[in-house]
Amino acid sequence: MLAEAAGSRVWPRHVDQAVRKQEAAGADVQTLATLHKVGDALLQYQTETAPAPPPAAPPPAIVRANAPAIMAAPAAEAEPGFAPPVADINAGGLTGTGDYAEAGRAIGHYVHAIIARLIVTFLFILIGVGMGMSGNLDGLQTAAILGGLIGLILTGWQVWALFSYASHSPGHTDSRGTAQAAAVFTILAGLIDILGAFASGPAVGRARSGSGWSLLSLLLALIAILLVVSICRKIASAFNDGRLEQRARTVNTLIGLMIGDIAFMFLMGLMGAGVLILLLALAFFGLVIAAAVLYIILLFATKRLLMNAVRA
């Protein structure tokens, strides 16, 4: 890249030329990706260390008719289509049009919606168990409908946070499309959840129907969570944060085990193995607790990384 720039300032076109030459020479994908990251880091370093342009001299209080005009300070050198050397990295250009601060706030809203959903779910489970033990089936159905409506509101909060992140996501993380896909799956899970709440009832057939809707909603929600974890992994890769990357992989593994546990419970149900279903349900409950805790920690760590990038 320095050779392409001939000893002068390195511009993005020099990085692209170096990558193309390596690609023509038969370099593998990993080498090309590493070269591109090095080029991006060099561009950002030059942006942060470039001297600021001298301030323009203030105009004189009295200007005579024959006084020479005061020349404006020269503008900072900038290649067309890219930010000047003294521009703020959040203004776009070298790394995209994303805003780290707004992206971090969007992640914060999303994790707060997740925490609120967990609290509401726990409360309604306690209410449902109490009503079920007292035989209040009508009250149980009303609680299920109310829980579905509250869940729909929380789903709207999550979807808004994901679309907000997508509109402010840093370009070099390449996570905008993933955030939009996660929002779509979250919408589908919320709609199916509210449909299952209205479909469930005291009758055995309707209760089984509601359980089927809940299972489908859970699977869609897990897919949305996997997409959000993918966003965290892309952010970790863009900022070379290995610790955040390992946390994201751990959450991915736990969610994969949850999906596998659901599949095994379904198979055991078809085979009529009630004891195994109970054991798998206990394992699933433990996986849910572990995944929820690590998922919240992962989201807070991602938010902190984006907010620190603003102050860096």
Sequence ranges of the domains in the chain: 1-53, 100-311
Q: Which of 242, 194, 237 is nearest to 214 (CA)?
A: 194
Name the one residue in this structure whose structure tokens are 């589908």: 188
Task: In whole angstroms, give the CA distance from residue 99 to residue 167.
Answer: 9
Could you tell me the mean pLDDT of each successive run of 10 residues in the chain, 312 residues long? 62 70 73 71 66 60 48 48 40 50 91 92 82 73 77 89 90 87 90 71 43 77 91 90 90 88 80 79 88 92 85 53
Per-residue pLDDT, 205: 39
Per-residue pLDDT, 28: 72
H or E, element range at 97: none
User: Are the CB atoms for 280 and 250 separated by under 8 Å?
Assistant: no
| H helical segments located in the chain | 2-5, 12-24, 29-49, 100-134, 137-168, 176-199, 204-238, 242-271, 274-311
Task: In whole angstroms, give the CA distance from residue 151 to residue 306.
Answer: 28
Task: In whole angstroms, give the CA distance from residue 132 to residue 113.
Answer: 28
Per-residue pLDDT, 47: 67
Assigned token pair, 194: 């509210």
* Close Cβ partners of 37 (under 8 Å, ≥ 6 residues apart): 240
Per-residue pLDDT, 172: 80
**HSE of 85, CA atoms in CB hemisphere, 13 A:** 14
Question: Is the full-model pTM beyond 0.85?
Answer: no
Assigned token pair, 280: 């798998």
Q: How many residues does the chain have?
A: 312
Instruction: Reduce the DSSP state of residue 241 to 3 states and report it.
Output: coil
* Close Cβ partners of 4 (under 8 Å, ≥ 6 residues apart): 10, 14, 17, 18
Per-residue pLDDT, 134: 75
Cβ count within 10 A of residue 78:
14
